[in-house]
Amino acid sequence: MTRDKLFGLFALLAAAFVGGAILPSVIRYGATLVHPFLLNWFRISLGLLLLLGFFRGRFRYHLIFQKKYFLLALMLGLGLGLNITMFSFGVSHTTLIASQLIYVFTPIATSLLAYFLLGERINPKKALGMSLAFAGVLLLLFFSKSPEERLSLGTFYGNFLIFIGMFGYSAYLVFSKKLSGAFSILEMVLIINLALTILLFPLAIYSLHLQGLEQINPQSLLAMLVIALSALLFMGFSQMSIKYLSANTASLGSLLSPEFAALAGIMLYGEKLSLVLLLSMLLSIGGTLLSVGAEKVSFLDRIKLTTVKLKNFVKRRL
């Protein structure tokens, strides 16, 4: 095994662990101390300051601020901004396991976006896989209305918010793949944090209007710093896995997060594995694997092709 593949596999496992167990846990805790709008802006801004402080000599600013990358960076920020906003509101109303299981649907969401926006065809095997994965997510959403499943599935409100955010994450992957060919891993993380800092600033001001400055204290600042560091690690490991691994391998990384989330949820919050949750996990993961396996190109290669087609589609419309 080559050195690059070892780096990639380490990054894949690290991203799944940080994204599935650590980051959701600290965001859930932080959302109890600070309004989610302020929480998101503060932790992104702290991440931006850390990047500029420790790695300021590693960025090609003349390339980052070129006009031709502005629209892609904006779309990347909007997609990820929707994701982290919905997640920060939803994670307090669901379980860690359910919150990460919903993201297993990401490859399916990307295919759906390509189908509706670009008219891409879906073969029968892929359609079957998409249907199974969608059935798994619907099963989770439907039974989360039941109080008996609360410790296992969370609430419908929390799961639905995260489901909406997951589509934002799918859009983020599309535009992130396009930009990753032009920038280094550190530059990609910088672009993401810079775009989010600008886009989320109005929401942070609104949250101060709602709850005032009392929510900012040493405890909440420490929580936001931990979240910022965790988010930077997650984004860095994710970009590293995309860069060093084959697209097929990297695209399946999201399937590992529910397992790490289950471990953290059971140990930290007393969450339970119910029959409904296990069935939902089986349908979602199995359907996603079937759908991805039915593609002639892999998930991340599909993202790259979708980006090019989407860009041409926008040009034709304009």
Secondary structure of 168-226 as H, E, C letters = HHHHHHHHHHHHHCCCCHHHHHHHHHHHHHHHHHHHHHHHHHHHCHHHCCHHHHHHHHH
Query: Residue 86 above 90 pLDDT?
Result: yes
- What is the structure's pLDDT at 164? 92
Question: Average of pLDDT values for 225-247?
Answer: 79
pLDDT band per the 50, 70, 90 thresholds, residue 317: low
Question: Average of pLDDT values for 300-316?
Answer: 54
Q: Dihedral, CA atoms, 1, 230, 292, 138, nearest 10 degrees?
A: 150
pLDDT band per the 50, 70, 90 thresholds, residue 251: low
- What is the structure's pLDDT at 305? 54
User: What whole-number distance in Å separates Cα of residue 113 and Cα of residue 128?
Assistant: 17
Higher pLDDT, 295 or 163: 163
Structure tokens, 303: 């993202």
- Write down the domain spans for the chain: 3-317
Question: Average of pLDDT values for 77-89?
Answer: 89
Average pLDDT, the chain: 78
Higher pLDDT, 110 or 206: 206
Task: For residue 189, give Cα distances in angstroms to 77, 161, 195, 206, 249.
Answer: 11, 25, 10, 26, 21
Query: Residue 293 above 80 pLDDT?
Result: no
Residue 208: exposure state from Cβ atoms within 10 A (0-12, 13-18, ≥19): middle
- What is the structure's pLDDT at 238? 79
> Tens of pLDDT along 43-82?
888 888 888 888 877 778 777 777 777 777 787 888 888 9
> Tens of pLDDT along 171-186?
777 666 666 667 777 7
Question: Average of pLDDT values for 131-153?
Answer: 77
The number of beta carbons lying within 10 Å of the beta carbon of residue 204 is: 18
Query: Residue 309 above 60 pLDDT?
Result: no
- What is the structure's pLDDT at 177? 63
pLDDT band per the 50, 70, 90 thresholds, residue 161: very high
